[in-house]
Structures are given as C-alpha cells and as structure tokens.
Chain A
Amino acid sequence: MSFVQRRRFLWILFLTGLALLAIAANATTLSRLRFEELVHQATAVARLRCTGVQSLWQDREIWTETRFETVEVNKGLLPGVVTVRMLGGSIGNLHSRIDGVPAFHPGEEAYLFLWGREGEPFRVLGWSQGTFRITRDPRTGVERVTQDSAAAPIFDPLTRQFRHGGIRNLLVSIFQLKLREALEEKAP
C-alpha cells in the first residue's frame, strides 16, 4: 500500500466515523460538536494555565471569571492573560449551579476551545465539550488529555455493561497532531 493509498484509507475511515457521528450524537443540554466543529467554531484554541477564580454578580446573575495564563496558542490571537467567564458560582451563602459548565482551579492546565463576540469575555465553546484537561504522570512526566464530556463511563442497560469513550487519556503529542490536522482542514 503506497503512502497516498494509506493516507486515503485513513481519511475514509475517519470521515465515515464523522458521518456516523452526525447521525447519532445530540444532547439535552448540549448538542454534540465534533472535534472538527469545535476547532472551526472556536474563536481561539489554546493551552492555558489557571491562575485564579472569582465569582461576581453581573447582569442579575452569578458568574465565575477564571483567569488563565496563556501557555501555547493553537488558533486565534490571545493575550498573555485570558479571562473566561461562565455562568454560575458561589457568593456568600448563595450557590448558582449549572450542570455541564466547566470549573477550574489554580494551577490546572487545559486545552480550551474559546468562543466569544467582540467586546465580550470568552466562554468555553460547548462547555464540557470544549474543555480538554491535561494531566501529568508524576513519575514519567508524560502528559495526557481528557475531554470533560468524556469523563465518565456510561451504563448500557441492554448489554449491562459500562461503555468507556471520548477523547480521554490521549497523549498530548497525539492531541496536538489531531488539532493541527483539523486546523489545516477547510471549514465545513
């Protein structure tokens, strides 16, 4: 099999998967965004390190602003410090919660797919779908990426088995490769 044939085979395989995904995946709170859609719809994609979290009242709601230090920019233009604003948080004795909204703590690193309109703070695109957290093996130093929306296994009553899935425990190097390939593709 030549290199061109191999490459074509892989693309066919991948596109078949995407086509099937388009048929099957939708969400109650979230509608499924494929990885390529996340890449193309994001205003910016970057590896960020959380430096601080603060909740505040604004527009009659409790919001949480998370400050990040920019580690690596993969798409878009970002300053050295990025603020992401998401609905929910705690102020005083009131706790405002929305399932699916990602939360971060200082020191944590993640690849975030950011979305925003001019003059507005960034939000995380597709919430848990646009959050890819980085974990580092303390012994080997190897870094892996897990998408928030793939955090837990699902129990299928028909087969009585748990199903694992999603982008989880992917080596950062492979994630970056996947990201680069998606960025090089034309927008759908």
Chain B
Amino acid sequence: MNMCVNRICSITLAVFYGIWFAAIAQAYSFDMIVPDVRQPLALSGGSACPVHAHQLTAAGSIAVRWSTAQNANPVTILTLDQTASGRLTEIEQAITQSLAVWTGVSGTTLVPATFTPLTRTATQNACGPDGLNSICFDQADMAFTPGVLAFTRVITTDRLGVQVGSSAVATQLGQILDADIYFNPSDSNTTYATPQALAANPKAYDLESLLTHELGHSLGFSHSAVWSAIMFPFAPTPGTFSGMRPTTLRPDAPLGEDDRTGLRVLYPDPADVVHRGLISGHIFPANPLALPALPPGVTGVFGAQVVAVDAASGAVVGATLGGWSCTAPGPTQFDGTYEIAGLPVGHSYTVYSEALNGAVDPSQFDNGIVSLCRNTVSDPGWPPLQGCVVPAVNTSFTARTRPGP
C-alpha cells in the first residue's frame, strides 16, 4: 500500500510540477512560408525553400493605427490619467514606446523611420484583413475564449503581386500584408494597465509588455522558448513587467538578447560589422536507426532547440529550432542542421541543445515548424520533386556536443 501511496504521490507531484512549468514555446523562431512554386517563376521565385514572414523596412513602409474605442463597462485599459484625452495619450505612449523597443535594436534595418507616425481611428472594429495594421482594444472577436488575453493575426503571401485590401502589392515573398493586434475586451476579470498605472493596479497585466510581445508577432516572430525573451509566450505576473523599462539610452531594454538576435536575423543591416557571427552544426543520432523511417530522407535529428549562451556574460544570445536546411530549388531537407546567426563577433559561446518533449506530431507546433513543407496532398498540383513532409519530431535524445574539424 505504501508503494501505491508513493506512486500516487509521484503522479500528483508530476502533474503539479508539470502544470507549473507548462508552456508552448520554441527557441526564437519565425513565421515561415513556402513560396507557391506552382506559380510562374517570376511570381514564386521558383524555390520551395521556406522564407521568413517579414515586413518591408524602407522608410515609411509600416503604418500602424490604433482604435480609440475601449470597453467602458468594465474599463479594461487602466491609466493613471483619468481624463478622456489623458487616457488616450497614455495608451498611445505605451504603443509608441513598444514600437520604439523594436526599432531601438542596433544592427537591423528596422529603424524608427520604418514606421509612419502612429495614427488613431475611432472605429471600434478597425481590425480586419484590410491592409492596415491595427491595434484594437474593444473589438469582440469570435476567436476569443476565456483565457485568451490578446493575439496577433498576421496575413502573409506566398507569391508576388498579391495584396490585401489597401495593402501594398507584395514585392517580396513572405511579405506581411496585414498584421492586427486584438486585446480581449470581454473578460471582465482581465485588465491591462499602462506603465504609469501598473503600480496602482497590481492585478492588471502590463500593457506595454503585452504590446511589445504582440508587435514582435507583427514583425514576423513566432514564440521563443527562452525564459528571458519578450517573445516567451508567458507574460510576467499581473502587476509586473518583462525585462526592464525602456529608457532613452536603452530603448530596447525590455528585450532579451535572444529577441535582439532574432530581429537581426530577420532584418539584417548589411552595414553592421558587429553582429556577423554564425554558429552552425548538425545534430545526428548516435544510432542512425533511431531516425524515423517515414518520411524517407530524414538524416538528422529534427525539432531540437539549440541555444547559444555567451560564455562570459551568461546571456542567451541566440536560439533556434534546428533540424533542417534548404537549398534552392528545395524542398526542405531534414538533415539535423541548425544555424544561429547575428551573433556578436569576438565572443565565446556555449551551445546547449534539447529535444522537443513528448509531442510526436509536428502539427501542434507553432508556425515556425508547421510550415516548412508543402506537397501534393496539402496543395494539389504541387511539383512532387519540390514537395516534402515534415517528419515526426525526435523527442528523446541526450545531447552531447563536440567541436567541428
């Protein structure tokens, strides 16, 4: 009986600790899209290699507006200033500050001039696939359920020449045509506070932290598995905020190094001579028979998180979800390759690796992993030679690293 009790205790504790640490995440990752190679070469580029979803970064390329319509009963956006105009100003400051967090990262082409000045709209239901990037605080949406605080819906295209509503016509593959941020207005138990109002409202979520995270999605980020990253899917507890508050000297202070590295990979500045470091390698099983038999052609471990830690500072400077590579004309090869780019040169790094756990089917992972392949089943008429199937994720291996030749 004692054994039975011990077993039940163990199960209970396992469940308890399991829930405690539960999260959906990967190392920093991006929304990916496979170009539609069924289209003429001039429209698809001819390659079935996945490309990053991304925004254009030329001056004035990204316009963002926000809806001033807010839930009044109960008030969900809490501000220090209670006057009508003061409330709007305070919320707008939080949005502006959150945008500045991302444009404050050095070594990228995403700069303040990339954004046109933030504008307001009084339209309550301003969010929708209209080609306008909007932030909505009071738009009831049928996607919400209890427990969903906010989300970003991003529309991308897999061929050139497409537009959504009044968006620019796509001139790059993977170009984001519309990205809208929705905050849940209908959960009376959930409130969001501006930085000025947070201290007085310890049960509210920090609006700036959530906005910064959601804006990361609108720039093409998926989630990160790194605890300190702003793109980590779980926010700080109510009444607290992610990282540090931005300052004039450190406008990107809320970000983790992982976020910064990810942004440099997404929007690399050709003039940047500092963040040009690259760590790449392969993850192979010691026993090749451990590789899945289906789909054919899998030669390395797929679905491993690889994290680079600065040996001196201990900061996580980069992380990625490894296990694949692609060379034009594609398709994706599942050869165990990983690559972490955008690292400061002249530093030493320690690399950690870990398999995704427990989940066997790749469909449950975020966009960064689901969208690596297209084939004749998912897309009728797809050229078979450029088709692939995402293999089951390797879920059990113990990582050992060794230096390359």
A and B are partners in one complex rather than unrelated chains: yes
In Å, the complex CA distance between A6 and B7 comes to: 12
Q: Are B20 and A165 touching (Cβ within 8 A)?
A: yes
In Å, the complex CA distance between A20 and B190 comes to: 19
Q: Are A28 and B149 touching (Cβ within 8 A)?
A: yes
Q: Are A35 and B19 touching (Cβ within 8 A)?
A: yes
A2 to chain B, nearest CB (A): 10
- B-chain residues with CB within 8 Å of residue A81 when the two chains form the complex: none
In Å, the complex CA distance between A162 and B358 comes to: 14
Q: Which of B17, B148, B209, B355 interacts with A30 by CB under 8 Å?
A: B148
- B-chain residues with CB within 8 Å of residue A144 when the two chains form the complex: 358
The range of chain A's interface size is 35 or more
> A128-B24, A165-B21 are known contacts. Are A153 and B151 too (CB-CB below 8 A)?
no
Chain A 119-160, CB within 8 Å of chain B: the 1/0 string? Answer: 010011111111101010000000010111111111111101
B8 contacts the other chain (CB 8 A) = yes
- B-chain residues with CB within 8 Å of residue A155 when the two chains form the complex: 27, 225-227, 305, 307, 316, 319, 352, 354
Q: Are B20 and A95 touching (Cβ within 8 A)?
A: no
Q: Which of A94, A105, A120, A154 interacts with B25 by CB under 8 Å?
A: A154
A window 48-71: CB within 8 A of B: 59-62
- B-chain residues with CB within 8 Å of residue A37 when the two chains form the complex: 147
> A33-B146, A98-B143, A133-B359 are known contacts. Are A93 and B365 too (CB-CB below 8 A)?
no
Q: Are B153 and A154 touching (Cβ within 8 A)?
A: no
In Å, the complex CA distance between A60 and B136 comes to: 15
In Å, the complex CA distance between A120 and B74 comes to: 24
Q: Are B233 and A108 touching (Cβ within 8 A)?
A: no
> A24-B20, A108-B363 are known contacts. Are A153 and B354 too (CB-CB below 8 A)?
yes
In Å, the complex CA distance between A107 and B356 comes to: 22
> A30-B233, A103-B370 are known contacts. Are A166 and B12 too (CB-CB below 8 A)?
no
In Å, the complex CA distance between A10 and B16 comes to: 11
In Å, the complex CA distance between A151 and B27 comes to: 12
Q: Are A99 and B5 touching (Cβ within 8 A)?
A: no
Q: Are B153 and A97 touching (Cβ within 8 A)?
A: yes
A87 contacts the other chain (CB 8 A) = yes
Q: Are A123 and B145 touching (Cβ within 8 A)?
A: yes
Residues of A within 8 A of B (CB): 1, 6, 10, 13-14, 17-18, 20-21, 23-35, 37, 41, 59-62, 85-88, 93-105, 108, 115, 120, 123-131, 133, 135, 144, 146-158, 160, 162-170, 174, 178
